[in-house]
Amino acid sequence: MTLLRRLPAYIAIWAWVAFTVAAILWVVMSAFKSKREVLRSGLKPPAELRWENFETAWNVGRLGEFFSNSVVIVCLSVFLILLVSTPAAYVLSRAKFRGREALTNLFVIGMGIPIPMLFIPIFGILAWLRLSDSLTGLTIVFVAISIPFTVYLLTGFFASLPSELEAASLLDGCSDFQTFRYVMLPMAMPGVATAAILNFIWLWNEYQLSLVILNSPENRTLPLGLYSLQNAMQYTSDWPGLFAGVTIVIIPTILVYAILSEKMIAGMTMGAVK
């Protein structure tokens, strides 16, 4: 009886889930098909696995180069983001000083600023610093735009930690830096890890500022490389090659998500749900 009453709910949910899974699976499957097969075989699995599509995307589409660009720039950015944001968040949530709330708000307000507003001034500043069209310039910008959310997330995390240990370590004669380094930071590691995962996924997929800042083909990140592959596709109609590219781009984030989704979702919702 209850199963029958819940049937509509199951159908509605499964319809959505089936569509999402089928759409993504179908892209991955199409990456292994031949050009003709992609157009005719619909949802059928590939007749044989054509790995050469991946070779084309990786070498001719140059996604191999862009992949290493993305890995370097995203990992470096995430490291730097955490390096500057964690101490700031610690102080903003645990220290007592005048203007603390105003300073926190100043950090958080960045989350409301529409990123396209930055296109022109950022381009101008990087040109002035002679960092336009460089991965260094993009890294700095990635760090800057990720600070508001990361500080917000970590401030909430530090605030939720118990204060007894902090007090005890100070009584034991630890300096304030030692207390942070050896007592509070280890306790905050789960939060820092969550921030790292979220920033990794966002920056891996970041595309608008990369589009504005990067110009020369050898500097492209993966989303940009995929975008140019997609545009070239209009002339070559090499759908399997494009889908191989799509697969290369989405595999890392989907893997991270599959392994760490619980942590990610907990982090995403922590700020919104108190």
Partner 1 sequence: MIGKRLIGLFVAPAMIVYLCFFLIPTGFTFYSSLFEWSGFGSEAKFIGLGNYRRLWNDPTFWLSFRNTLALLFVGGFFVFFLAFLYTILINSGIWGKKLFRLVFFLPNVVSVVALSAMWAYIYNPRYGLLNTSLKSLGFEGAGKTLWTSPDNIFWAMLAALVWVFTGFFLILLLAGVDKIPADMYEAADLEGANLWHKFWYITVPMIWDVMTISFVIWIINAVKMFEFPFAFGFLQVPQQLYTLGIYLYIMGFGQRDPIYQLGYATAIGVVMLVLAFSLIVLVRRLMRRDQLEF
CB within 8 A of 209, min separation 6: which ones? Answer: 115, 118, 119, 122, 138, 141, 142, 145
CB of 65 to partner 1, least distance (A): 17
Is 151 one of the binding residues for partner 1 (CB under 8 A)?
yes
Is 195 one of the binding residues for partner 1 (CB under 8 A)?
no
Closest by Cα among 195, 173, 216, 180 to 81: 195
Cβ–Cβ < 8 Å for 161, 189 = no
Binding to partner 1 (CB under 8 A) within 11-70 occurs at 12-13, 16-17, 20-21, 23-24, 26-27, 30, 38-40, 42-43
- List 222, 238, 241, 244, residue binding partner 1 (CB under 8 A): 222
Is 107 one of the binding residues for partner 1 (CB under 8 A)?
yes
- List 1, 4, 48, 96, residue binding partner 1 (CB under 8 A): 96
Question: At 58, which amino acid appears?
Answer: W
Distance between CA atoms of residues 84 and 248, nearest Å: 31
What ranges in 31-62 are assigned the alpha helix state H?
35-40, 52-55
Closest by Cα among 80, 137, 151, 79 to 109: 151
CB within 8 A of 50, min separation 6: which ones? Answer: 32, 33, 34, 240
Identify which of residues 50 and 204 has a Cβ nearer to partner 1 in the complex: 204
CB within 8 A of 133, min separation 6: which ones? Answer: 213, 214, 215, 216, 219
- List 72, 111, 159, 189, residue binding partner 1 (CB under 8 A): 111
Closest by Cα among 195, 225, 189, 230 to 210: 225
Identify which of residues 7 and 49 has a Cβ nearer to partner 1 in the complex: 7
Is 226 one of the binding residues for partner 1 (CB under 8 A)?
yes
**DSSP structure class, residue 46:** P
Binding to partner 1 (CB under 8 A) within 158-187 occurs at 170, 176-177, 180
Identify which of residues 115 and 159 has a Cβ nearer to partner 1 in the complex: 115
- List 65, 67, 193, 205, residue binding partner 1 (CB under 8 A): 205
CB of 83 to partner 1, least distance (A): 8
How many amino acids of this chain bind partner 1 (CB under 8 A)? 97
CB of 177 to partner 1, least distance (A): 6
